[in-house]
Chains A and B, each alone.
Chain A
């Protein structure tokens, strides 16, 4: 009996908190007098992944690879063309309302200034979420004060001020407090620290780690900065042109990189050690046009080790050496077979 419940509990802990299934978004390109869609940008092309409870899932990739679109698709700020979002094993649209999802999954954006209403004081901004969910005004204000001190801002000094009066790092702390105000389980950090300078960035990252521990949070951490992702994430997803090319635990992604795109991405990572500076350009050219992505493996025109099969056949995510490490490359799949 007791064994039974304990196994169930471990099973529960392993069950993903958020599941993204085959989610797709094409942005139509409208032209002509009647705005007919003549073509579309394949921003996110049928990607699936899980977010586990209390983990930090990093999403990396070049700009335009669909990282931010994925984030917005999760909370339905952009409606997906296809695919499902499941939170806590409940499917959005059937047994989960959008409101429930949004209460549980909050976002922190990159532009700390644009994400705060310039006409509202900081306490009003933070209290807005709780108030619309029916929390009495006075209680919501107290909550805002608590959250301000939790994110390291003295409420007496900051509660009554306006966004333009405080620094970028302080603004991003306010944005984090605002996201926390509706008591979410997941916070999506969409390039949230990218615009901050390095010392402030480190402080905000440490704050995020403390908050995660204290409030049992789950993070989806989107960034183009591989050093920061390495520091923050438990697992990492590498995206290229709207697709997932590699996913796995952070150690194996960085140490046993399987996909050639991830390898060149990591090679471009600035090293802290001047003796280990990379001398050659890791990846030449821009990513191909997402309106007409290349056939087969989307990375093949830029891939240093492409074989003819890459041009014709789309590689699926294959299991790698480490548990939970998957990569979409024909070559690593072949190596697996020869083992």
Chain B
């Protein structure tokens, strides 16, 4: 026992941590890695839009309205006001990704906090919080988003706010159910029995075991958020024209669907691709985290 003290503590085998294993498993998932590459590419495009875009996305010309894909100088054609489609799609990635990720990220923080607290504390606090939460389930999420941003008025901020409110209840629900399972496990009891306070137990023993599943759920919400945001813009409630945003572009081009169907479909293709990519990453993450000992 005494000679143990002389052993230098760094001379020992350390197993890879759970997250290191998850990362390794995820990196072997070809489909998920491909989807992640698409997302990273979209991010780069969004960030460097001014350098990539061939033209000003807001500058139109009545002379080149609804030019088809492949017109010289307009690789993806021009929209109903003669604006360069490629540039508009590139700039549109900025707002669309922002509207897809931000509400989910905010809802992840708020929803997890509510859910973890309710799940850990249980009892009356849980009942009150989760029943209040359930009230939001009375409305379909699309209707709730429309109603909220309708009440708040059009604009990016109100769209963001209403989507965040829409995503808090489901996130809190998932957080609550995972935490309720973890709370009953013996290692939480053992931590209580060693005299730790609730805050320490949540930080050391609960968070590490619940954040993973909540995070996976939230990533699957990103595609929903993108589509809802596009829907709000389509209805004229989210982003206001002439701002380039995929949902709004889908709306303004819908009159041209008989004239230039391929042109009108382009924003839809972008929305579809991005949301599929987020869903595939979320799926890959889930199966990477599903480690059976």
Contacts and interface: CB of A to CB of B under 8 A. Distances in A.
B is a partner of A: yes
A141 B9 contact: yes
A157 interface: yes
Interface stretch (A8-16, A83-91, A160-168): A160-168
Given A141-B9, A142-B5, A161-B13, A133 B186 contact: no
A70 B194 CA distance: 18
Contact of B191 (A128, A133, A141, A146): A128
Contact of A160 (B7, B12, B186, B196): B12
A59 interface: no
Nearest to A105: B193
A102 B196 CA distance: 10
Contact of B194 (A72, A117, A182): A182
B61 to A, nearest CB: 59
Contacts of A102: 192-195
B193 A75 contact: yes
Interface in A110-151: 111, 113-121, 125, 128-129, 132-133, 138, 141-142, 145-146, 149-150
A156 interface: yes
B200 to A, nearest CB: 6
Contacts of A115: 185-187, 189-190
Interface in B234-253: none
B71 interface: no
Contacts of A106: 193-194
A103 B13 contact: no
A106 to B, nearest CB: 6
Contacts of A119: 17-18, 208-209
Interface string B30-48: 0000000000000000000
A114 B187 contact: yes
Contact of A161 (B5, B15, B200, B204): B15
Contact of B195 (A99, A113, A117, A160): A99
B12 A128 contact: no
B195 A146 contact: no
A118 B206 CA distance: 11
B25 interface: no
Nearest to B194: A129
B1 A146 contact: yes
B190 A107 contact: yes
B187 A117 contact: yes
A329 B121 CA distance: 43
B11 A111 contact: no
Indicate the member of B4, B186, B204, B293 with the most A CB atoms within 10 Å.
B186
A178 interface: yes
Contacts of B18: 118-119, 162
Nearest to B293: A164
Nearest to B188: A117
Interface in A162-214: 162, 164-165, 175, 178, 181-182
A261 interface: no
A117 B196 CA distance: 14
A333 to B, nearest CB: 38
A116 B195 contact: no
Given A114-B186, A115-B186, A159-B12, A77 B7 contact: no
A240 interface: no
B193 A128 contact: no
Contact of B196 (A128, A138, A145): A128
Contacts of B205: 117, 120
A315 interface: no
Interface string A66-106: 00000010010100000000000000000000110011001
B250 to A, nearest CB: 43
Nearest to B197: A132
A128 B194 contact: yes
A109 interface: yes
A155 interface: yes
Contact of A145 (B7, B192, B195): B7
20 contacts: A77-B189, A115-B185, A117-B204, A117-B208, A117-B209, A119-B17, A119-B209, A120-B204, A121-B15, A121-B17, A132-B195, A132-B200, A133-B195, A146-B1, A149-B4, A155-B7, A157-B12, A162-B18, A165-B15, A182-B195
Interface of B: 1, 4-5, 7, 9, 11-15, 17-18, 185-187, 189-197, 200, 204-205, 208-209, 293
Given A115-B187, A117-B191, A165-B15, 7 more contacts: A103-B194, A107-B190, A116-B187, A129-B195, A162-B15, A162-B18, A178-B190
The 10 A-B pairs at the shortest CB distance, nearest first, are namely A164-B293, A160-B14, A115-B186, A129-B194, A119-B208, A114-B186, A102-B195, A109-B186, A156-B12, A117-B187
